[in-house]
Structure 1
């Protein structure tokens, strides 16, 4: 009996394991998987992966088990059928007609969902009740649909995992959770980036074929439904198996490897997604190594001339009230520029501008997402575990770059070509005193091209010039922070601008078009009266890719940055190691600003500056100093790597770290510095000491 009644589960499970194995093998040989694996390591990855898949499938089985539990012929007999149907109709009317019913009190769309579900249930139950001769056909049809939904979810999840891995070198993480929240942008991005219709047709065809095969092999089970005793035995068995699987999955997910790709490939995406969904913020004091709080703060603050969080920055030169335009460029890796060895000539303008600027050749982004870059440039603090501060509830009234400019009488704005509600940018910037200029500010005739992420960068450039012309007439200096959008998948832009078609959807095209738009912006700016009294800061928000064989591959965090001002900033190259959080304090130093600071970044031209950089993901917090990378990870784990420069044709100061060797005997002083930085920052954020 047990074997016969579990045939649908066995067939579905076998299909799930085969499909998961195919995906795992694809990941092993994917170009983004830069690690190499020995024969026995591959066997271990496959074996542990299959075990994870079995455990996950068992955990998802209760949904199908509940479906079988309610299959019965006796419930349609008089008077049970009439009673059940009456109860369903009354429940439907209760939800529909009673204003304060329990579903509506819960809020959201729950009432509408409940109405649709119960309405469908009434229709199907009525058909089964009043058409007994068609009952088996109806049940078979519903069974086929149920199987199809299971199969299509399995296929769709596998395809989704592939595309996510193709983009990030990871299975699901916090970004996947974000993608569920911002469905319009994400679905639009997928629609514009991939051949969606052929892809969905293939998914549908494969799912249909597999469903038909399983249906033909198992539909006989619906002619001899289990009795109540058999159902209870099956239910108890599934409860036991699910309990064992949950315990087993807790054990297998704790198995760690020195290679990130090994962990990702042998894992199952669904538990990773669930973990990300429930852990979008991490409590540093619970998950990371600690030292005494006073010791941590003393260690961290010792790098400043005043050993306090709130410090008085005093300039001995007159302040320069120059306009400032900060341009954070989407996904701009350092190696897109010829200065860093690129020979494709895809950024000719930015390369030429770098020769006329103060160029920071050894600067590292704090993270791998736009909100991390915006956080670093606005708050000038090291990244913290979990989501960016921009996306947290407690994200307002912080001490920001805008705070300093507003105190100096500046007009402060954030400019973005998309809808700024995305990634909570509008809430963050408006809550910290910035005016917002985004896609909502555009008239239809001002948009020559747009994709799901926003208007083309050249359209935003024209809008920015209009905004700055208006601001300059007010007699006040202005600070505008412009976040570009075009260098982002699907990499579409207007045709005829560059020598790569706008529908080619290539990253090189996106990079080159962004460079084209920046050139157009500067050509327009140069004609304006305010141009010679303006300082331009151009910096990436993060690199184009963060995938690597270690938790924090340093070569995937290096970004270009430069400060340009005709007749004011002398061209030079600053080659010392520095962080994204140092760029704005350095700018304030160049402007001779005197102000009270809570920034944790430093002016790199001050004598007390210590070369260092912070790099992080949502979980791993890294600190680069003295050719070492120290990483703090949950749960209270510490790793340290020695870093060696990548050999190349460029001068040593331009070469990037790419050889990371884990140290068996780490440098304890650097470990304490790392803990001090992240523990102190987390504490000050938690206690609102970084508010203004």
Structure 2
């Protein structure tokens, strides 16, 4: 017969064992990555991860231990057995759902589940569309398996709560229960050390996957939810004065080029700003990518100004949007777009152009509420918005909303009646997961890479179709077209989360407003998404002083650079190469042999200063 006072340690053991099982499920689901680990890594994953598993277990055990303590003070018939069972069942379902969601999200995003998906709760349709390429039947099977295994394990390790022994008084029962509750303090903190446990305590390898696998998902989610936007700055690498000085040095210009940087025939052209979803440079031949995937964009590049070494500031659409339109850096584990009170203080191209008479519109085939983008765009002051609800139901032919050729048709129709000068932003969506295409597939294959390649080809087809018609319109000769991606992609090649290949994107300036001598120009030095705002405003002879993180790509810096961030780390790219850094492990992930220690310090300074500004916005 089980001892009544073995319930609390048995309950603790149940959750600890269950977390070990979910860790094993993660390693099995990503078996290809697991098999590539060095010998002994799997054992170390479980060993190092055990402290964080124990911490998560202790947090989940607080409520049952308190209920057990209170129940020990009451007569047996009032003991909250059903409440304990109900709590365990609800928490078990939540933990299983988080663990299963993490399996596929890690494959897509390259980091363990945290609070990031909560940014999308106000647009469940878009969340469902994003999951369109996930193996839902497999995941459902894993979820059912974990639930059944958890129920069986609970019955074996915990089971029903025995009655209090007759010789055991309520006072002694409460004292024993209180002792077990007090003992939770040690695993809660991850040990008896001075600083409580955090993610870095389970990082042991130079390989990010091994470190990520050691994390505990419920602990990671709860920790990210509890982090506030008020500080302190977690990226404090050096004194603030030193960091500020290093960032200032990064923006030192090489030399002014006033006579060779004028690209436009007029200072007040129409501006058509086209943002292409997930358009990785790996598919764009004109910047060294695969041939024949984006023939229309490549053709546009030959008659426009092509930038061949541009890097996205982040790896999500909402981060790219802020980088492109406000020239503002991304944040590693959050996004400023989540905080309307902060985004209201950002500069914005729409607002800058409105001050000199531009009329504005924003087009998106999906829902603008996705990832809190609408609050940012409304604060920017666009005159009109066109989104999913503004298209007839018959044209909402994608899981996301309206496919890209439908979007471009609507833009073309409206531009013919649009007052000039105009600033029009159009954001595509068809090359987002689940990679649907309304035209016959160009490339063979049904794997995810093939689907993605075909979706990019389709969006390029829709772009080419639009540009062909646009060139026949009267407004074309006075229009500058900016074509750029919101971010890159791990595919093709399944690049690691930190890889610069994942962040390299196309940027083309084209349109009838270009001067003839600018057509066909190629700019090869390194630059960032954040630099587009200052480049555009300089061409329009408008002030750029508000855009402190943006510089004119046509006025090269002494050392051109691009900073990008991912969860939870950053990359710093220059002509010398790229260094990537893990903020949790506090170590370099990868670094080209030609990269100096100074470049790493510059990246650390950039992250420190930019995040500190974000905190105090």
Any idea what SS the aligned residue of 1:172 has?
A: coil
1:264 CA drift (Å): 0.7
| TM-score, reference length from structure 2 | 0.82
Alpha-carbon distance in 2 for matches of 1:221, 1:682: 50
Give the corresponding residue for 2:299.
Answer: 352
Any idea what SS the aligned residue of 1:455 has?
A: coil
Give the corresponding residue for 2:178.
Answer: 236
Alignment of 1:624 with 2:573, yes or no, is: yes
Pick which of 161-170 and 338-347 moved more: 338-347
Please, which of 296, 316, 320 is the counterpart of residue 267 of structure 2? 320
Alpha-carbon distance in 1 for matches of 2:134, 2:553: 43
Residues 154 and 516 (structure 1), Cα distance of their counterparts in 2 relative to 1, 3 Å cut: same
Unaligned runs of 5+ in 2: none
Please, which of 431, 447, 466 is the counterpart of residue 521 of structure 1? 466
Give the corresponding residue for 1:102.
Answer: none
Alpha-carbon distance in 2 for matches of 1:191, 1:241: 42
1:456 CA drift (Å): 1.6
Pick which of 255-264 and 363-372 moved more: 255-264
| TM-score, reference length from structure 1 | 0.74
Pick which of 533-542 and 241-250 moved more: 241-250
Residues 275 and 426 (structure 1), Cα distance of their counterparts in 2 relative to 1, 3 Å cut: same
Any idea what SS the aligned residue of 1:454 has?
A: coil
1:524 CA drift (Å): 3.3
Q: State how 1:374-389 maps to structure 2 within 5 Å.
A: 374-384=321-331, 387-389=334-336
- Contact 2:52–2:215 (CA under 8 A) maintained in structure 1: yes
Residues 554 and 65 (structure 1), Cα distance of their counterparts in 2 relative to 1, 3 Å cut: same
CA-to-aligned-CA distance 1:226-278 (integer Å, 9 cap, x gap):
97346524532432332011221634633344332222111212222122212
1:395 CA drift (Å): 1.2
Alignment of 1:535 with 2:480, yes or no, is: yes
Please, which of 237, 253, 259 is the counterpart of residue 303 of structure 1? 253
Give the corresponding residue for 1:215.
Answer: 155
Alpha-carbon distance in 1 for matches of 2:355, 2:175: 72
- Contact 2:122–2:369 (CA under 8 A) maintained in structure 1: no
Any idea what SS the aligned residue of 2:310 has?
A: strand
Residues 283 and 554 (structure 1), Cα distance of their counterparts in 2 relative to 1, 3 Å cut: farther
The number of aligned residues is: 595
Unaligned runs of 5+ in 1: 82-124, 129-138, 307-313, 645-660
Any idea what SS the aligned residue of 2:253 has?
A: coil
Please, which of 108, 124, 143 is the counterpart of residue 184 of structure 1? 124
Residues 491 and 608 (structure 1), Cα distance of their counterparts in 2 relative to 1, 3 Å cut: closer
Please, which of 204, 219, 223 is the counterpart of residue 271 of structure 1? 219
- Contact 2:306–2:507 (CA under 8 A) maintained in structure 1: yes
Give the corresponding residue for 2:116.
Answer: 175
CA-to-aligned-CA distance 1:82-134 (integer Å, 9 cap, x gap):
xxxxxxxxxxxxxxxxxxxxxxxxxxxxxxxxxxxxxxxxxxx9xx9xxxxxx
Alpha-carbon distance in 2 for matches of 1:243, 1:342: 54
Alignment of 1:611 with 2:560, yes or no, is: yes
Q: State how 1:445-484 maps to structure 2 within 5 Å.
A: 445=393, 447-451=395-399, 453-471=400-418, 474=419, 476-484=420-428
CA-to-aligned-CA distance 1:167-204 (integer Å, 9 cap, x gap):
1222123423424x446146523663445467436633
- Contact 1:20–1:53 (CA under 8 A) maintained in structure 2: no
Please, which of 482, 485, 509 is the counterpart of residue 563 of structure 1? 509
Alpha-carbon distance in 2 for matches of 1:543, 1:423: 18
Residues 74 and 609 (structure 1), Cα distance of their counterparts in 2 relative to 1, 3 Å cut: closer
Larger Rg: 1
Residues 73 and 286 (structure 1), Cα distance of their counterparts in 2 relative to 1, 3 Å cut: closer
- Contact 1:288–1:637 (CA under 8 A) maintained in structure 2: no
Alpha-carbon distance in 1 for matches of 2:347, 2:198: 43
Alpha-carbon distance in 2 for matches of 1:316, 1:211: 67
Any idea what SS the aligned residue of 1:13 has?
A: helix
Give me the CA root mean square deviation.
4.1
Alignment of 1:577 with 2:522, yes or no, is: no
